[in-house]
């Protein structure tokens, strides 16, 4: 493992809480402030940077051989796709 691998993992791991806090409208400090939309944008920026860094440092086929990274990316992409629906469906109802 080298420093770039640590940065790739850190970006991917940090994108998840910012996405969740943004979807649940929890005020949490991110690069774009405390707003929920800011946290969602910060999660997107981190995810894109993670993928760019990985593609610059390795080949695409190496991504498919890295089970940990594929699993983390899958969970994050599923939250991007279904997160708002899950928060509405299972969120606190008044």
Q: Which residue has the tokens 């790739």?
A: 8
pLDDT at 67 over 90: no
Distance CA 80, CA 71 (A): 14
For residues 40 and 59, give the distance between their C-alpha atoms in angstroms, rounded to a whole number: 28
Which one-letter DSSP state was computed for residue 26?
A: -
Beta-carbon contacts of 11 under 8 Å, excluding residues fewer than 6 positions away, are 46, 47, 49, 50, 53
Q: pTM, whole model, 2 decimals?
A: 0.82
Higher pLDDT, residue 59 or 48? 48
Residue 79: phi and psi, rounded to 5, are: -65, -40
Residue 94's pLDDT band, with cuts at 50, 70 and 90, is low
């Amino acid at each position: 493992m080298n420093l770039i691998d640590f940065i790739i993992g850190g970006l991917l791991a940090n994108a998840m809480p910012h996405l969740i806090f943004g979807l649940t409208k929890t005020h949490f400090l991110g690069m774009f402030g405390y707003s929920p939309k800011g946290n969602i944008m910060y999660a997107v920026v981190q995810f894109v940077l993670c993928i760019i860094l990985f593609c610059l440092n390795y080949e695409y086929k190496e991504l498919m051989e890295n089970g940990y990274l594929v699993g983390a990316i899958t969970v994050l992409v599923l939250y991007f796709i279904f997160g708002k629906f899950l928060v509405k469906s299972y969120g606190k109802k008044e």
